[in-house]
Amino acid sequence: MQEQSTGNLLTGFQRGETAPFSILHTEWSNGWGGQGHRIILECIKVMALGHKVVIAAQPDSPLYNKALQSGIPVEPVRIRGNFDLLAIRDLCRLIRKHRITVVNTHSSRDTWVASLAAKLSGVPLLIRTRHISTPISTNPFNFVHHLADGISTTGEMIREELIKVNRMSPGRVMSIPSGVSLERFDLSKGDGSKVRREFDIPDHSPLVVMVAVFRGMKRHDLLIAAVGLLRGKFPEMKVLLAGKGTDSEAMKHLIAEAGLQDTIIAAGNRDDIPDVLAAADIVVLTSDKDEGVPQSLTQAMVMERPVVAAPVGGIPELVLDGETGLLAATGDAGSFAVNIERLLEDDGLRKRLGTAARQHVLGNYTDDIMAEKTIAFYQRLFTRKTDTPQQKQARVSD
């Protein structure tokens, strides 16, 4: 059957048809972390709403393989740089093949090539998702972000930065935090005892958990320093580090330097994060920059775990200090130690914060909420783009 152009689809939408969107997500990174999890979960939930989805990812990357495992249509596209002509060609072919009506980019390199492919192919909607709070350069040569019809951010702080600093129209930018899967992070099914048995952690030993890729901005060194300050007062406390690279030689060296080999467990990458969180008494995230709304925190909170984190990126939207968790001073190991100690000494506070944390996530940060907001954003942008001149004149400007 002959492929139909995206232009034909656009006219179909303009006639008021309620056809589903056909969405292409692009990602150039070969890494795996919260961003990849977000793409996979968003695709699953948007497909459940009746829309078509395909992912373009680097061949044999973690995202490519996870998409295959999850039953999400995925195409291998090698992206070598910002102006990779072969990648642009391949994406144009995918756009025609899948009759794409929305291209949604996620990282810097794929944003360049996919944006150019989308414009060349006449795709109705081009969306850029900003996952982290790193500022976007205002250099005029960095024009690619202004090509998008809309920008989705993972936190309100990131949205406000784009509007104030990058002069994005408020109507083009929407905060859609990454949602947590209630099916996977089911409070009634997490088996913490299994994790404690695996690492010989007694039931009575307080357990502090941090789930994060071993990367500079996550500041594992701060947690190690905080544990050193607390060890004398809480000799039976254990700390479990889960995430890619946490079992690396570099991490083991940091732990050994602090003399905390008997206290800190470097567990490495784990597929049983719900069980890890169920085993925890407290969950900590020591990041000092570049965060949106971290999934490790929303996951812990929906499991009713009290959390301690620094007020960076979108974290203050999630962790309301003294209400849904505790905020420590950014980059301050002593402040993290004080807040962890406060929770270890107060069972009632841990219970109250954990309960409030779960309710906060259920009301604002679930995967269903994320998917519904995403489609509503697409629909709003599409309506604005296809308005007649008379409708545009009547519509309140951004």
Residue 8 pLDDT > 80: no
The string of pLDDT tens digits covering residues 205-238 is 999 999 999 999 999 999 999 999 999 999 999 9
With H, G, I as helix, E, B as strand and everything else as coil, classify residue 384.
helix
Is 313 exposed, middle or buried (CB count within 10 Å of its CB: 0-12, 13-18, 19+)? buried
pLDDT band at 144 (very low <50, low <70, confident <90, very high): confident
Strand partners, 383: none
CA distances from 191 to 82, 102, 178, 198, 271 (A): 44, 40, 24, 12, 13
**Contact in structure between 298 and 361 (CB atoms under 8 Å):** yes
Residue 62: C-alpha distances to residues 27, 67, 91, 121, 242 (Å):
11, 8, 20, 28, 18
Query: Does residue 125 have a pLDDT over 60?
Result: yes
The percentage of residues in the chain with a pLDDT greater than 70, rounded to a whole number, is 92
d(CA 230, CA 114): 49
Range list of H helices, the chain: 6-14, 34-48, 62-70, 85-97, 108-121, 156-164, 192-198, 220-230, 249-257, 273-279, 295-302, 315-318, 333-344, 347-364, 367-386, 389-394
Alpha carbons 28 and 36: distance in angstroms, whole number: 11
For residue range 278-329, list pLDDT tens digits in order: 999 999 999 999 888 899 999 999 999 999 999 998 899 999 999 999 999 9
What confidence score (pLDDT) does residue 132 get? Answer: 78
What is the model's pLDDT at position 389?
A: 56
Token digits for 192? 């913490």
- Say if CB 240 and CB 279 are below 8 A apart: yes
Mean pLDDT (the chain, rounded): 91
* pLDDT beyond 70 at 4: no
Give yes or no for residue 6 having a pLDDT over 80: no
Q: Is the pLDDT of residue 12 over 50?
A: no
Q: Which of 227, 303, 309, 232 is nearest to 265 (CA)?
A: 227
Tell me the percentage of the chain whose pLDDT exceeds 90: 81
Angle at 318 between CA 185 and CA 382, to 5 degrees: 85
- pLDDT at res. 7: 44
Please state the separation of Cα 89 from the chain's center in Å. 29
Q: DSSP letter at 48?
A: H
- Tell me the pLDDT band of 175, cut-offs 50, 70 and 90: very high
Confidence bin at 141 (pLDDT 50/70/90):
confident
- What is the pTM (predicted TM-score) of this model? 0.84
pLDDT at 31: 86
Higher per-residue pLDDT: 61 or 2: 61
Pairing of strands 125-130, 150-153: parallel
Interval 355-377: pLDDT, tens: 999 999 999 999 999 999 999 99
| pLDDT surpassing 70 at residue 16 | no
Domains in the chain: ranges and CATH: 6-179+366-394 (3.40.50.2000), 192-364 (3.40.50.2000)
Rounded to an integer, the average pLDDT of 377-387 is 88
Tens digit of each residue's pLDDT (9 = 90 or more) over 76-112: 999 999 999 999 999 999 999 999 999 999 999 999 9
